[in-house]
Amino acid sequence: MSVDRRMFLKLAGLGGAVFASRLARAADPYAAADEFFFVQLSDTHWGFEGPALNPDAAGTLPKAVAAVNALAVQPDFIVFTGDLTHTTDSPKERRARLAEFRRIVSGLKNPNVRFMPGEHDASLDNGEAYKEFFGPTRYTFDHKGVHFIALDNVSDPAARLGDEQLAWLKADLARRKPGERIVVLTHRPLFPLFPAWDWATRDGDRAIELLMPHENVTVFYGHIHQEHHFKTGHIEHHSAKSLMFPLPAPGSLPKREPVKWDPAQPYRGLGFREVEAEAKPVEYKLTELPVVKA
C-alpha cells in the first residue's frame, strides 16, 4: 500500500472495520513486489424482488457502483464473487438479468473488473448463459506478484469442482514458485462451513489438500451473505457481505431465513470490502465498507 493511500485512510477515518490477515511465517521472497488493493463485491442478486428483505432491490447495486466510484483512491481491480443475478427458470430472463447487471457495472470507473458465477447464475444451465456474457467460469491471472485463481464450484448444481477442474488446479499449482503468494477466488466456501445450510463445496476438501503445501494462500468467497473468517491449517478463508440481503450467522437459527430489512437501519448488513495486499510481510488487510454511508 502506498504511503499516500495509508495516510489518506488514516485521515479519513476509514480504517474502522479492519480485519488484518497475516500470513507471513517466513521471509518473503517477493518482498520487492508492488503492494496494491482490490475491491470485492458479492452476491448482488440482480433481479431479486422481495420488499421485506430489500425494498431498494433495484437501487442497491447502482449505489454500490457509486460507492466504489467515490473511493478516494481507485482499486487496482474489482472482483465480483458470484451470484451476480438472482436465479430464474427462464433462460431468456436469465440473459436479460445478466445483460442488465453488466450494463450497471459498466458504470464502474475502473474498467478492470473480474467476474465469477454463483449458483444463481450458473447452476440451472451449467454456466451456459454466464459464459456468453462473462467468459470462462475458471481462470487465473497475475497481479503485482500475486497469483489469483478463480474456481468454479457452482456450474455443477451439486456444488462440485469436479475431477477435471481439480486436475487443472493441480497443474497450475505445480507451476508456482516456493513461497509465491496465491489468492483463490470462489463463490461457495471450500470448507464445510455449515452443510446443513448447504454452505459447502462437496469436493472442496480436495482443493484445500492441493493448496495446503503452498505457504501463502488466502481464499475470498461469497455465498453466505456475511463476513466470516476461518482457517483450515494456515489457509485463511474470508467471505464477503451481500449487496441484496444478509443471511443469519451459520446455525444461529433453525432455518436459513434471510435477515429482514430494518427501516431504522436501511442497508444494514450489506456492503463490500477493500483488500489491501501487502508483500512484506505477506498480509491482507480487509476493510468493510457500507453501501450507503451513515
Partner 1 sequence: MRRRRFLALAGAGAAAALGAAASAWPQERVVRVTARRFTYSPSVLTLKKGEPVVLEFITADIAMGFNAPDFNVRADILPGKISRLRFTPDKAGTFTFVCDLFCGDGHESMSGTLKVLA
| Shortest CB 196 distance to partner 1, Å | 5
Identify the CA nearest to 137 among candidates 147, 124, 121, 146: 121
Residue 198 touching partner 1 (CB under 8 A): yes
| CA 41/CA 273 separation, integer angstroms | 7
| CA 39/CA 274 separation, integer angstroms | 4
Residues in the chain, how many?
A: 294
Q: Work out the end-to-end distance of the chain between its first and last CA atoms, rounded to an integer number of angstroms.
A: 26
Nearer to partner 1, 255 or 293 (CB): 255
Residue 92 touching partner 1 (CB under 8 A): no
Residue 248 touching partner 1 (CB under 8 A): no
List the one residue from 73, 196, 212, 253 that touches partner 1 (CB under 8 A). 196
Cis ω for the linkage preceding 281 (within 30 of 0): yes
Quote the cell numbers at residue 105: 457495472
List the one residue from 124, 166, 210, 292 that touches partner 1 (CB under 8 A). 124
DSSP symbol at 191: S
Residue 87 touching partner 1 (CB under 8 A): yes
Residues 6+ apart with CB under 8 A from 84: 44, 46, 98, 101, 115, 117, 118, 120, 121, 130
* Size, binding site for partner 1 by CB under 8 A: 21
> Coil, strand, or helix at residue 64?
helix
Quote the cell numbers at residue 283: 498480509
Site string for partner 1, 250-289 (x = CB under 8 A): ----xxxx--------------------------------
Residue 157 touching partner 1 (CB under 8 A): yes
Site string for partner 1, 164-193 (x = CB under 8 A): ----------------------------x-
Which parts of 179-284 fold into alpha helices (H)?
204-211
Residue 159 touching partner 1 (CB under 8 A): yes
Residue 152 touching partner 1 (CB under 8 A): no
Residue 126 touching partner 1 (CB under 8 A): no
Contact 148, 142 (CB under 8 A): yes
Nearer to partner 1, 75 or 82 (CB): 82
Q: Which residues bind partner 1 (CB under 8 A)?
A: 86-89, 119, 123-124, 154, 157-159, 192, 195-198, 202, 254-257
